Structure 1
């Protein structure tokens, strides 16, 4: 293999060991630039050749192109996240899991030989680009609310990522399959019909992958059902209010009847006010209802049916005659004849 042919298919080695020519060393990188998002895994690979006089002790990957070219497996940043595999077919692979923004940079295949202190590195290596992971897109429906048959409905795929979106694709879920509807954003369904009912979602395509939205459900109503719903909703809202109004009016009417009957009884001479309060009025022994006629009971209890003199005569001492009060108590008021007679 000549120098020109090697240069066309591989990357030449930087260093030449004593007694070894540069055209006998070469490294090939299948991909010299890779782009991934945060959290993903990435694979890199290199294949190499070396002079027959040289024995390769170890092939590994490094991130430094100068100095001692340390093995990534000894770096705390990568120790638990990488796997390096060396094959007998003169190939060495690197896998990095859970990529972070700090992982961006150049990676190189490097070799050590059985000759102490001899190292060899192949350039230009692999350039790793790391981007923030895009967010899951969402889908909005316009117009909002009930979708009536015959209208145009627009679906919009919304992305919150700063990464450029290269393509949009729309799908409808049909049983266990996904029916591809079209591309572009937004996506419009013309003259929608009941058979368009179902779940829809979008796919946002990026340079290094795709993101799918959650599904949204589209419910189409016919014009007749839409009119029925418009009539039923006021009934559900106004029905309870009407029932409460009827109950209030009936109660008010009943209350008026009770009051009217009470007024009628009051007009005919029945007891007014609170019966409990009236029954607490002291009753003179002569007004005991057990010894009087029914007419006399009400006559003694109802102030409207008794004469003022009769009420106060037995209760108010101011209404009795002085002679009657003191005659039995005051000795000065007794008759001389009665005293002498004794």
Structure 2
């Protein structure tokens, strides 16, 4: 039999008569008064835990061994934080807690363990148990899940750190760490330190030393890069980027050598239309409330490149291709002309007769013609080779003839020759 939360939050014993009988339920008290009373007591009713850590909510419950004239025995124990349809919901069956919740009970002591805490786990948690005679719920335990952070403030004498949490004031103690080592414990969330540039500090809640806040420290040596990295051309745009590991996050300021005033602020510094006068050393300074650090790089112009506009590039390329094609065509024509004239020149300049050829070569006729003239006038000739006469069918030996033309008067056209009929006949006309 279950009761509403309003009834369970009462501060005194209530007796309720019902048709089914008399049921008595008691709300939690700070001290268990005996084994013959209903009660739930907690080790703490206000718990503050750190996000990502593990928390344990522990209680002890009591009940009378006999109730309503019979033996009173426990049948079920569980924790809950919300209700559904007017009934408590066991977090072990809730998808939001799946795989993160354990309910450990034994010897009237029950512990709710929640791992990997989320800020959404902040809520009130009740413990409830039922017997064969009645049901009982204790007062709630308030759980606050916090994400620890350190706030930094500076003065001329020291650095003040504040451990920020959503925990109620006065419900926890704070543990302070320097470079990972514990240095003190205090109930105050504030601490003053004489800070050094290589030091880091963090805080934790007592009992959650394994889940400290993020450390705070001065900026590390900045990393500086330039784009383009291959070289800076005159007139181009140059972008400088600076980054440094720091907590709190660093602010960035850019300086140029021999200039007192900053050139720019911010992580990125861009110089448009880079000129020779922009050359020099540039430094990036990263700073926060705990210190500062800087890095330097040198910029210089490597030279300007000649570039054609896009509208001109294509016509220039086409003109170059056409010019190359014309050049190759002319070269080929000249080469062909030289090749065709060289054989004629070799034939005209030949002065020595061909050597005698063996008879076994083919039936072709060979002629060696030698032109000799003491005058400078050109010689015109019209020469036609005559067919060899057919003497007999058995004559198969090829005939060779050598004809020489001298400055003597030519024979009259059509005059018969008294030479061998197998000779080669030629008619040469010469104009004086």
TM-score (norm 2): 0.33
Q: Please state which structure has a larger fraction of its residues in helix.
A: 1
By relative contact order (CA 8 Å, sep 6+), the higher-ranking structure is 1
Larger radius of gyration: 2
Q: TM-score, normalised by structure 1?
A: 0.41
More strand by share: 2
